Amino acid sequence: MQIIQVSKNQVENPCETESFCNMKKIDALAWKETLHSLNEKGYAIIPTLFSNDDCEKLSDLYFRDNLYRSTINMQRYRFGKGEYKYFSYPLPEVIQCIRETLYPPLANLANEWMRHLGIEENFPLDHKTLIELCQSKSQLRPTPLILRYETGGFNTLHQDLYGDVYFPFQVVFALSQSGKDFEGGEFVLVEQLPRAQSKAQVINLQKGDAMIFTTNFRPVMGTRGYYRAKIKHGISQLTSGVRFALGIIFHDAR
């Protein structure tokens, strides 16, 4: 098995990392409210985590083909209409830093969720060890990605699991402004409720916002204890314009 090295000393730095990945800024987030929202709704919005300039620089990465391991045309695979690109290792420093900095607070909640649901899974509290766990299961391909939709574009409901090891949370960053750069293109979460119709939530993210959401399910307290409420996500159809987004998935793929 090939072991992939992802240390910060090896990554390319196409952006000024200090601007994007300020540890103090992330530490200062209202984590109590964020984690509460994840528990109650399966998602949490962090408003204006990135500046307008940050978003423009990240969007520009889309056109640097040397940064990517693969490009996916959604129509070809019936995933929707649009295109996304998976970053290759070594990741750009800004992507690596986001991944490592946001992970630890979420790992504690992930382990709490596993205990509630009686699942024998205990996620490591640092991201490097999670990647080593992925590698032990032959999940060697990085999963952070950048997405681009044009008029008529959309993404069907899905889950980003990729293998036996999958972290319960992922993050999307809105890099374009709704109502200015594009119309439509809302983020959609659909939660499967027991013995009932599914519930849809439509979320209109603003440029620079980050949204943390569940990769697969969330624990919900029922009359007989906690049960799994499965959640899928997608993007509604754009009626005009162009929409960019950055996706941070913490586990790697086979």
User: How confident is the model over 120-128, as a mean pLDDT?
Assistant: 97
User: How much is the pLDDT for 23?
Assistant: 58
With a cut of 80, say whether residue 10 has pLDDT above it: no
Q: Are 183 and 238 in contact (CB under 8 A)?
A: yes
Neighbour tally for 208: CB within 10 Å: 19
Mean pLDDT of the chain: 91
With a cut of 60, say whether residue 16 has pLDDT above it: no
User: How much is the pLDDT for 57?
Assistant: 94
The greatest distance separating any two alpha carbons of the chain, rounded to the nearest whole angstrom, comes to 53
- Give the span between the Cα atoms of 43 and 211, in whole angstroms: 7
Q: In a 10 Å sphere around its CB, with 0-12 CB exposed, 13-18 middle and 19+ buried, how is residue 195 labelled?
A: exposed
User: How much is the pLDDT for 195?
Assistant: 78
Q: For residue range 52-91, what is the model confidence (pLDDT) as tens digits? A: 999 999 999 999 999 999 999 999 999 999 999 999 999 9
Q: For residue range 36-52, what is the model confidence (pLDDT) as tens digits? A: 999 999 999 999 999 99
Lowest mean pLDDT among 14-23, 114-123, 204-213: 14-23
User: How confident is the model over 103-123, as a mean pLDDT?
Assistant: 97
With a cut of 60, say whether residue 9 has pLDDT above it: no
Lowest mean pLDDT among 12-16, 77-81, 88-92, 235-239: 12-16
With a cut of 50, say whether residue 237 has pLDDT above it: yes
Reading the block at residue 226, the tokens are 């906690």
Quick one: which of 208, 188, 172 has its CA closest to 56? 208
Residue 90 vs residues 24, 68, 143, 243: alpha-carbon distances, Å: 24, 10, 12, 26
What sign results for the dihedral spanned by CA atoms 106, 250, 75, 88? positive
The DSSP H or E segment spanning 191 is: strand 187-191
- Give the span between the Cα atoms of 185 and 153, in whole angstroms: 8
